[in-house]
Amino acid sequence: MTKILTIILSYILILFNSNLNADDNTNNLKIGLLAPFSGDNKELGNSLLLSSQLALNEINDNRIMIIPGDSGTNNPTKINIAINEFVEAGVKIIIGPTDFKSFKEIKKYNDLIFISPSNMSPDITNNIISIGVSLESQIKAIEKFIIKEKRKKTIIMYPKNQYSSFIDEKLKNIKLKNYKVFKYDPDPKILTGSIENLTNYSQRKKNLELRKKILEEKDDEASKRELNRLEQKYTLGDVNFDSVIIIDFGNNLKSVLASLVFSDVDDNKILITTVNQWFDESIFYENSVKNLYYPSINLKNFKKFNKDYFKTYNLKPNEISILAYDAIGLIYYIWKKNKKITSINDFFIKDKIKGKIGTFKFNDGKVTQDLIIYKIKDGKFTKN
């Protein structure tokens, strides 16, 4: 498989270079791709390159060409070398970098435009537009969903780690009227106890035992029926919230879900939501929470992109490579509409842009996505 990938990438690079050398016409659109083609994240770089080629195939306009440049993995030297090579080749607009940490390096190139797949900040600053699925867009979609479901008390949960302060900042603009923040230690040994305290589990368990004891002393049929019903329960009494937002991923998210179930939080009563999981099917095997909701990009488009990518390259794409595909489409749209791209101001348009990820817009100096709420149930992702 590695040999096949190398052949495909070599062919694409030759194609790009041939196009570059064959025609230096100013009517052409040259796009730089600043991605990690070396280092720990080189597979991501390769996937972004193949995704970009897929977009070119669909556009089918030989006036557009992509010039790859290696950003390395957290390597400022390689970033600057690649950007200087872009400038020499006449590139004015660049897809990348993928890492938000590299933004401080590229801000000094004021005469260039960078379209980054990073999701850390939707703010359009200086010469950078981030089109990643931002936390702001996700929270906004979850807010609308919670309000639509008429939930009144929300717990927002996220781990104590290097991103806590980032999340704190993003929550300052939340519009939910009644919510509490619960930060947890991601260590599973500590996590369960913390969630037991949050859900008042011990008291609810005592309530059950006390009620059962009272019923056991009675002999009427109604008491017997109630006792039989309570034998199937672990606690008695409701938790002090009706919805949950969990800002976490992977195994950490699964640990939180398991702890909520262990603490007898009924997901038929409590609306449990989380942030974008990129349709991670491994969550199907998490048998704790049966009803889980989260905002994401358009599933139908995501599946089609993955299918086309696999059909073309016999490979599975990195999940964020779809953003490079959309970046190509966005740049081409602006270029065709204006006949040229001269500055970042060309992207400040009122129109909603429809891409593979769904629709997004530029408003109030930010990029926001219109995300869809999906439900995870019975091994399927379903549009809510």
0.85 surpassed by pTM: yes
Residue 5's DSSP bridge partners are: none
Per-residue pLDDT reduced to its tens digit, 256-304: 999 999 899 999 999 999 999 888 888 777 667 888 999 999 999 999 9
Q: How far apart are CA 345 and CA 351, in angstroms?
A: 14
pLDDT of residue 8: 45
d(CA 368, CA 139): 11
316 secondary structure, DSSP code:
P
> From CA 284, how far away is CA 147, in angstroms rounded?
27
Residue 360 forms beta bridges with which residues? Answer: 353, 369
3-state SS class at 309 = helix
pLDDT in tens, 8-61: 444 444 444 444 444 455 578 999 999 999 988 999 999 999 999 999 999 999
**E strands within the chain?**
29-35, 64-70, 93-95, 113-116, 128-130, 154-159, 179-184, 243-246, 271-274, 292-296, 353-355, 358-363, 366-370, 372-377, 380-383
CA distances from 118 to 84, 128, 219, 331 (A): 22, 10, 65, 17
In DSSP notation, 109-149 reads: -TTSEEEE---S--B-BTTEEE-S--HHHHHHHHHHHHHHT
Q: Rounded to whole angstroms, how far apart are CA atoms 183 and 3?
A: 46
The residue among 313, 256, 305 whose CA lies nearest residue 278 is 305
Domains and CATH numbers, the chain: 2-133+299-369 (3.40.50.2300), 135-297+373-383 (3.40.50.2300)
The predicted pLDDT at position 22 comes to: 42
Cα distance between residue 39 and residue 15, in whole Å = 24
Please list the ranges in the chain whose pLDDT falls under 50.
1-23
Task: Show Cβ contacts of residue 161 under 8 Å, excluding neighbours closer than 6 positions.
Answer: 186
